[in-house]
């Protein structure tokens, strides 16, 4: 009888040990999970607020740029060429509508903003073939999809020039106008993409072009053209010479030779 009681007591004790851990043994783990979930929710909310703020500010920035640049009209060959290239295949990304305009400017450049605006300089169009231009546009779509353009705006909006500005800080830019807004835009278009950002945008473009049945070798040839200009600019800088028309673009999109080799290896 004593042995039975002892066995029963042992079983009850074992059951208690199994019953208690839900709070006793796993309490710390549950707290960690709760904190992790809370942080994830907080991060998602913060990103959403930043996205909304960046989109609103970007609309204002693009309106300012459009007013202060010569926009190619619908009757121009530049407009017709770009419209024909993007067609209906390159007009949205992640449910965000894309809009395009051509700036009649000999500078070799292309700009993208968080609201889905893409502005192509006529100098860029003159430099590239149709296939190469579409490849470069696809890279810009990649920067939009990967939030690189949003993060560039966050960097400009932050006081310490870091990528930690929140939605409220970005919203402050909505009150800017005139020269003050122009200064923000000038800073924004000179924020360089990191090697990792460019690599991911190139990869995005490669996949997008493949999906649409467009030329991926054109992405390589475009990058090779930029690489040649990049090398020439480096030499010009060393000798106090004149930089190429693509100098600003290359300042934001560098290491083109390496990027070309990575894409050609795919």
Q: pLDDT tens across 126-144, in order?
A: 999 999 999 999 999 999 9
Q: Residue 188 and residue 70: Cα distance in Å, rounded?
A: 20
pLDDT digits (tens, 9 = 90+) for 175-200: 999 999 999 999 999 999 999 999 99
Q: What is the pLDDT of residue 167?
A: 84
Residue 96 — φ and ψ, nearest 5°?
-100, 125
Q: Residue 229 and residue 201: Cα distance in Å, rounded?
A: 20
CA dihedral 188, 191, 193, 195 (to 10 degrees): 180
Q: Residue 50 and residue 43: Cα distance in Å, rounded?
A: 10
Least Cα distance to 256 among 219, 221, 228, 227 occurs for 227
Angle at 257 between CA 251 and CA 261, to 5 degrees: 140
Residue identified by tokens 């049945």 is 213
The pLDDT mean for the chain works out to 87
**Average pLDDT score over residue span 15-44:** 47
Q: Residue 234 and residue 251: Cα distance in Å, rounded?
A: 11
**Average pLDDT score over residue span 10-35:** 47
pLDDT digits (tens, 9 = 90+) for 47-96: 677 899 999 999 999 999 999 999 999 999 999 999 999 999 999 999 99
Q: How many CA atoms lie within 13 A of 1 on its CB side?
A: 0
Token representation of residue 116: 């889905």
pTM of the model: 0.82
Per domain, the residue ranges of the chain are: 53-264
**Average pLDDT score over residue span 110-134:** 98
């Amino acid at each position: 009888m004593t042995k039975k009681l002892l066995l029963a007591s042992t079983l009850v004790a074992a059951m208690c040990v199994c019953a208690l851990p839900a709070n006793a043994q796993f309490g710390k783990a549950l707290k960690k999970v709760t904190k992790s979930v809370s942080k994830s929710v907080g991060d998602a909310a913060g990103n959403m607020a930043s996205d909304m703020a960046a989109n609103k500010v970007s609309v204002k920035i693009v309106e300012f740029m459009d007013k202060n640049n010569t926009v190619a009209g619908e009757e121009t060959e530049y407009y017709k060429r770009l419209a024909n290239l993007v067609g209906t295949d390159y007009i949205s990304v992640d449910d965000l509508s894309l809009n395009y305009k051509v700036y009649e400017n000999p500078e070799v450049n292309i700009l993208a903003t968080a609201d889905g605006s893409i502005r192509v300089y006529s100098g860029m169009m003159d430099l590239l073939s149709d296939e190469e231009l579409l490849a470069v546009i696809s890279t810009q779509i990649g920067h939009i999809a990967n939030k690189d353009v949003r993060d560039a705006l966050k960097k400009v909006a932050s006081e310490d020039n870091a990528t930690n500005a929140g939605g409220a800080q970005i919203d402050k830019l909505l009150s800017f106008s005139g020269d003050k807004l122009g200064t923000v835009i000038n800073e924004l278009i000179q924020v360089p993409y990191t090697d990792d950002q460019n690599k991911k945008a190139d990869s995005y473009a490669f996949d997008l072009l493949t999906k649409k049945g467009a030329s991926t070798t054109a992405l390589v040839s475009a990058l090779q053209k930029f690489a040649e200009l990049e090398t020439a600019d480096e030499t010009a800088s060393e000798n106090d010479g004149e930089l190429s028309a693509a100098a600003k673009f290359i300042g934001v999109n560098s290491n083109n030779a390496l990027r070309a080799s990575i894409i050609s290896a795919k």
